[in-house]
Structure 1
Amino acid sequence: MERATLQRAQALYAGLSWRDRWHVRGRAALCPFERVADFVPRAGLIVDLGCGHGLFSHALALDGPERRIVGVELAAHKLAAARVAQSLWERPSPVRFVRGSALANPVAGPCRAILLIDVLYLFPPHHQERVLRASCERLERGGVLVLKTMDERPHWKAALNRMEEWLAVRAVRITLSEGGPFTFRSLAEWESLFRRIGFDPQAVRLDRGYYHPHAVVVGVRR
């Protein structure tokens, strides 16, 4: 995905409140969406679980018109923002947004890909595994699970990320959570869990040029 495509998606939010625009702009600047997009299939049903304001969902649709995107979000105000942005498409949008969560995915599938972009750290370990198993069941054989996460190394990046997430979730309350402690895993731990569930995994670091320990774990369903 080119940067210009992400900027086109950002432009869909021009009429929203300053707070929503600020949040979308910050996500675009701080998350390597363009690199994550390289792991998303170019066609088929793509489910973006915990899509937030829908920025990545819109960008993926602009980048690959043969994709059918379903964004799933629990927070009502974020879901509303995603739908307002959807209404500004100049052509029929291949994106739709529905209420739900990673634990209650309303899309039965079969899906070509399921995306979890900075979502699973909000859940305890047993719920993380539950989400991954349910996602595996909804994927077609050979389908892809794309987990965007934060690695535990280097330690200074991980510590900074934890501090920012505490502010966003506990203090400012930008993000909904179950209220428990954050759960981060090393890339090796994620790969081991993916294998146990039924994926062939590959972990890739994406943090070069960023002060967050961005990484992606891509699992192909066996």
Structure 2
Amino acid sequence: MLATASVPIPLVDAAATPAQLRRFFSAAYCDTPAPLRWLSAIRPYVCPYDKLLQFIPDGGDALDVGCGAGSLLALLAATKKIRRGVGCDVAEPPLASARAAARRLGAEDVLSFQHVRSIAQAPEGPFDIVAMVDVLHHVAPRERADVFAAAARRVGPGGVFIYKDMTARPGGRRLAHNIDDYVFTREWVQQVPEGAVEAWAIDQRLALVHGEFIPRLIYGHELRVFRRLDG
């Protein structure tokens, strides 16, 4: 069931609160099936989009690796943070919703979405911003370093790499993420060990400029922001 396409899209900016983002996503994804629309609307209470926005430089080209339904790029386009955004994902169905949201936002000339079989097929760039949000815990542990490196190589000189994933710290927040992922994907995931991405970033000449643990509801998130040393 779809919502009416006449739902107005509220204005948002980089200082938007989770409640404001909920209203934005509900309207932006009104042309998508109800389950996805509801999930998109409640996700700002779980995923700290408001924190991510603080580290996105203005006016650049962005690549979202594992973009899903394209919510991060939709937000970046609506806040006019980026000049161009490309999302890629190994799952095709969510990309249809990403394209529908881009149409609703009038951002079809800004956003594009590509179905890929692996990160090797992702656009090469280089990009001013590369994001990888809640992706690596779905990647087999033996492949994570290579996937991270492939994404990092697409960051241009002076560009930023935004990494966010579920916390690996022991406790209820970690368990909450595991249960959540199992409910929606039937996968009992293994978190990325603490310190792993920092080590991989050094190998790719990325400098850590910000690290933060972010609690949200019953969940916990690890945010790492890196900058390309080259250039």
Q: Per the shorter chain, which TM-score range? A: 0.7 to 0.9
Q: Distance in 1 between matches of 2:148 and 2:168?
A: 20
Query: Contact 1:187/1:217 (CA < 8 Å) preserved in 2?
Result: no
Change (3 A) 1:6 1:186: same
- Is contact 1:133–1:197 with CA below 8 Å preserved after alignment? yes
Task: Report how far residue 126 of structure 1 moved.
Answer: 3.0
Structure 2 SS opposite 1:217: strand
CA RMSD of aligned residues (A): 2.1
Correspondence 1:137-216 to 2 at 5 A: 137-170=153-186, 182-201=189-208, 202-207=210-215, 209-216=216-223
Q: For 2:225, what is the secondary structure of its paired residue?
A: strand
Match of 2:124 among 108, 123, 134: 108
CA contact (8 A) 1:49 1:105 kept: no
Contact kept in structure 2, 1:206 and 1:216, CA below 8 Å: yes
**Greater CA deviation, 193-202 or 43-52?**
193-202
SS at match of 2:113: strand
Which of 65, 86, 92 is the equivalent residue of 1:76? Answer: 92
Shift of 1:5: 5.5
User: 1:81-96 residue pairs with structure 2 within 5 A?
Assistant: 81-90=97-106, 93-96=109-112
Indicate conservation of the 8 Å contact 2:120/2:150, yes or no.
Answer: no
Bigger mean CA offset, 108-117 vs 124-133: 124-133
Could you tell me how far 1:190 is from its partner in structure 2?
Answer: 2.4
- With normalisation by structure 1, the TM-score equals 0.85
Q: How much does 1:154 deviate?
A: 5.0
Q: Aligned residue for 1:117? A: 133
2:119 matches 1:133: no
> What is the CA distance between 1:11 and its match in structure 2?
0.9
1:7 aligns with 2:16: no
Name structure 2 gaps, 5 residues minimum.
Answer: 1-13
* 2:150 partner amino acid: A
Normalising by structure 2, report the TM-score: 0.82
Secondary structure in 2 matching 1:206: strand
Alpha carbons of structure 1 residues 203 and 8: separation in structure 2 relative to 1, 3 Å: same
In 1, Cα distance between the equivalents of 2:118 and 2:78?
24
Task: Name the CA distance, whole Å, in 2 between partners of 1:50 and 1:158.
Answer: 21
Between 135-144 and 100-109, the greater mean CA deviation after superposition: 100-109
State the AA in 2 paired with 1:43. G
2:62 to 46, 59, 83: 46
Q: Note the C-alpha offset of 1:123.
A: 0.8
What residue identity is the alignment partner of 1:206?
Answer: I
* Native 8 Å contact 2:61 2:129 kept in 1: yes
Amino acid in structure 2 at the alignment position of 1:59: L
Q: 2: CA distance between counterparts of 1:62 and 1:191?
A: 31
Distance across 1 between alignment mates of 2:128 and 2:154: 9
Determine whether 1:67 maps to 2:83. Answer: yes
Q: How far apart in 2 are the matches of 1:102 and 1:166?
A: 23
Deviation at 1:127, TM superposition (A): 1.7
**Identical amino acids, percent of aligned pairs:** 24
Consecutive unaligned residues in structure 1, runs of 5 or more: 172-180
Cα displacement string for residues 140-163 of structure 1 (whole angstroms, at most 9, x for unaligned residues) = 122111111112225111112112
